[in-house]
């Protein structure tokens, strides 16, 4: 029996060893070795010698690594980093297309595409290089951004090439409306007691605009509020907390930040200690799949605190914190480092806010909703598209 034990003991020891989870530090070495082997194979064997410089290969590999983490983490190539340093106010995001551009050694490319946007509907893929714009060669970065900031309804045609495509493809996008003001509509509905406010973003002095709109509607007899956050991409977090302070008690914790492993970072953000008016009337908040970031924290907090009924679609799912981190070789990272959480401890990041009352929206409904937001400036043919159309979100929000 002794010999049997001696034979079985090493086998049992090996089984126990195999059952142990791999050491993350030890796993790093074979992974890095594999990367170096691939890098050297590419350098030795790929026929395009002008594409196999170490810096270029590594930077493009880092671009892929960052894009695989989440939609908001990106690698910033040296060319883009220099452009940002030369012009700190440079904004590569084109809200009317839902498109963010980047700059790398082979030219201008698509670094991010917002879901549900004109760019997304056109089939644009992140990482695609831009070959032509409106039938012309691609200009320099800043002039291109300027040329792509077009009024709603205008078209942009791009020829692009992605890794997944054997040949360049041509895509056509129609620019959507981008609001200059935060509060774009504030009125009493026909019943005389229900107020409607559309908050298009949380930028600028949106809290001041919101408070003025609330005061005016309350003075006119508002007893119920419909707050429309559909298509609202978010904005300033401190403005968000101020707006929440209009509807929930003073000094209420509404947002917390958590790092890896759920570790809370810093103190929770609380509503202001003083409240000029007490607002206790019922609220319904409209959201859709393009309501993001601050819109989700607002609707999520009001939902958690039982202060509002949320109506519409599950929201976009951005509740993360990004930092710009300078790296070697003139590069930078835009890296997600934490997530925002509503009072219940939930985060909208990657999940969105689930409405209390779900509303089905077709693509035709979305197009007509965008037209309805700029009803006063529509051309005759555009106005005709709205004839007989009823907003599904508003219809659901008005049901008692």
- Rounded to the nearest angstrom, the gap between the alpha carbon of residue 211 and the centroid of all alpha carbons in its chain is 26
Active-site residue flag, 50 = no
Contacts of residue 132, defined as CB under 8 A and 6 or more positions apart, other chains included, come to 138, 158, 159
- 227 three-class SS: strand
Active-site residue flag, 70 = no
Distances in Å between the Cα of 30 and the Cα atoms of 6, 34, 57, 158, 239 are 33, 6, 19, 42, 47
Q: How many residues make up the chain in this entry?
A: 400
Phi-psi region of 89 (alpha: psi -120 to 50; beta: other; left: phi over 0): alpha
Q: Can you tell me the distance from the alpha carbon of 245 to that of 262, in angstroms, rounded to the nearest whole number?
A: 26
Q: Can you tell me the distance from the alpha carbon of 76 to that of 332, in angstroms, rounded to the nearest whole number?
A: 5
- 130 three-class SS: strand
Contacts of residue 98, defined as CB under 8 A and 6 or more positions apart, other chains included, come to 113, 114, 116, 117, 118, 119, 120, 176
Q: Can you tell me the distance from the alpha carbon of 110 to that of 113, in angstroms, rounded to the nearest whole number?
A: 7
Which one is catalytic: 228, 288, 304, 391? 304
Beta carbons of 118 and 95 less than 8 angstroms apart: no
- Rounded to the nearest angstrom, the gap between the alpha carbon of residue 29 and the centroid of all alpha carbons in its chain is 34
Which one is catalytic: 161, 289, 318, 368? 318
Which one is catalytic: 96, 128, 291, 293? 293
Residue 61, token pair as written in the block? 């590999």
Q: Which one, of 328, 330, 336, 327, lies nearest residue 85 by Cα?
A: 330
Q: Can you tell me the distance from the alpha carbon of 66 to that of 113, in angstroms, rounded to the nearest whole number?
A: 15
Active-site residue flag, 220 = no
Residue 95, token pair as written in the block? 């809200």
In this structure, the strands spanning 309-312 and 283-287 are parallel
- 394 three-class SS: helix
Q: Can you tell me the distance from the alpha carbon of 209 to that of 103, in angstroms, rounded to the nearest whole number?
A: 36
Catalytic residues: 293, 304, 318
């Amino acid at each position: 029996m002794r010999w049997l034990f001696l034979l079985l003991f090493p086998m049992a020891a090996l089984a126990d060893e195999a059952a142990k989870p791999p050491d993350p530090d030890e796993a790093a070495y074979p992974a890095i070795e594999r990367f170096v082997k691939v890098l050297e194979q590419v350098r030795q064997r790929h026929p395009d010698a002008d594409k196999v410089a170490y810096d270029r290969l590594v930077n493009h590999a880092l671009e892929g690594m960052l894009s695989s983490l989440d939609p908001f983490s990106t690698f910033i190539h040296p060319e883009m980093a220099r452009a940002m340093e030369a012009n700190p106010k440079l904004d590569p995001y084109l809200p009317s297309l839902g498109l963010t551009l980047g700059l790398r050694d082979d030219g201008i490319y698509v670094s991010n595409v917002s879901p549900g946007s004109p760019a997304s509907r056109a089939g644009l893929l992140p990482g695609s290089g831009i070959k032509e714009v409106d039938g012309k060669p691609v200009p320099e970065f800043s002039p291109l951004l300027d040329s792509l900031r077009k009024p709603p309804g205008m078209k942009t045609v791009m020829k692009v090439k992605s890794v997944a495509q054997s040949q360049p493809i041509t895509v056509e996008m129609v620019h959507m409306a981008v609001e200059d003001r935060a509060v774009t509509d504030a009125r009493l509905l026909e019943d005389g007691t229900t107020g409607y406010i559309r908050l298009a973003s949380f930028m600028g002095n949106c809290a001041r605009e919101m408070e003025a709109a609330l005061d005016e509607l309350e003075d006119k007899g508002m007893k119920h509020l419909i707050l429309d956050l559909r298509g609202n991409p978010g904005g300033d977090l401190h403005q968000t907390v101020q707006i929440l302070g209009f509807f929930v008690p003073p000094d209420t914790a509404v947002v917390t930040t958590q790092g890896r492993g759920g570790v809370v970072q810093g103190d929770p953000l609380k509503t202001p200690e003083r409240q000029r008016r007490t607002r206790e009337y019922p609220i319904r908040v409209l959201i859709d799949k393009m309501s993001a970031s601050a819109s989700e924290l607002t609707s999520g907090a009001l939902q958690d605190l039982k202060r509002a009924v949320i109506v519409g679609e599950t929201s976009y799912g951005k509740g993360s914190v990004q930092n710009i981190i300078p790296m070697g070789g003139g590069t930078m990272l835009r890296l997600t480092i934490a997530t925002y959480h509503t009072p219940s401890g939930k985060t909208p990041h990657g999940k969105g806010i689930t409405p209390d009352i779900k509303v089905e929206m077709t693509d035709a409904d979305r197009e007509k909703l965008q037209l309805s937001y700029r009803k006063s400036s529509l051309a005759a043919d555009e106005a005709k598209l709205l004839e007989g159309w009823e907003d599904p979100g508003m219809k659901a929000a008005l049901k008692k």
